[in-house]
Every structure is written in C-alpha cells, then in structure tokens.
Amino acid sequence: MRYTFIWIVGVLILLGSCRSFQPVEVGRPSNLRVASLSGSQVNLEISLPIKNPNIYKITVTRIQAEAYLNDVKAGKITSNNKIRMEAGSDQIHQLKVGIDFSDLLGSDLNVLDIVRKNKVDLSVEGTLSTRSFLYTKEVPFSQKKTLNLSR
C-alpha cells in the first residue's frame, strides 16, 4: 500500500512536469510619470504589466531594457529586484528609468514638440530573466505605446 502511494505520487509529478515552460508575456507600458528631477538627470517610472501563463510559480530575476521616447533612445531600465509571480498571475510592476540629459542633447528628440502635442511615443525593448526551480530562461520583449501627458 505504501509503495503504490509513492509510485502514484511519482507518476503524477512526472506527468505534471512534462508541460513545457511558456514564456512570460509583457504587456504595453503605461503611466509614464516623472519620479525625480535633478540637474543632469530625470528619473521616470513606467508601469509594465507582466503575465505568467504557466501552471506554476516563477520568479523574474532581472529586467534589462532600453526606453525610447519618439524613437530616440532615452535611457536604460534595469531591475534586479526579484518579482515572484503566482501561477496564472497578471500583475503591473513599476520600473524606474534613468535618463541622462546628455544622452538627449545630441539626439533628434524635440521636447517642445512633445509639450505642444501633449503626448509621447514610448517604446520599451529588452529581456526578462525568469526562473522556476532549476529552469531559467531569457524572454525578449518589445512594446510600444503612445502616452498622453498630464498637465
């Protein structure tokens, strides 16, 4: 009786682990907000939805991406904070973007045009590093959205 129970549990674990790892889905960025402003740098916060379509928990261990404003490179997004995601969860995470004004000075970004139109095209391209048990995977993502700026 004891051995059949162990056998049944072992078979269930093997059958449950046969399901392949599905990549994490990254949604469109939203809520671009200025977090802080200093003499040479502006720090923005972007809300980024991340969905776990798997039937088990995963951990997002690292996010690395580039942020573009109106197709001009604006800064890097880096987050080494571990994000634990339950099975089937769909959560919105706040990411920080540090933009150095020196990166924008030599670019074609027209700030007056952004202020006049009161909107900006935000693109985010990068990778998520995910882990579940001993399995790790880099998931590339690319999203673009036009955001209305509040006054």
With cut-offs at 50, 70 and 90, classify the pLDDT of residue 132: confident
pLDDT digits (tens, 9 = 90+) for 108-128: 666 667 667 777 787 888 888
Q: How open is the CA angle 108-111-116, to the nearest 5 degrees?
A: 125
Q: Tell the burial category of 65 from Cβ atoms under 10 Å away from its Cβ (0-12, 13-18, 19+).
A: buried
pLDDT confidence of residue 5: 77
Token digits of residue 26: 């990254």
pLDDT confidence of residue 83: 84
With cut-offs at 50, 70 and 90, classify the pLDDT of residue 64: confident
> Average pLDDT over the chain, rounded to whole?
77
Query: What's the whole-number mean pLDDT along residues 59-63?
Result: 85
Domain 22-148: CATH superfamily, name plus number: Immunoglobulins (2.60.40.10)
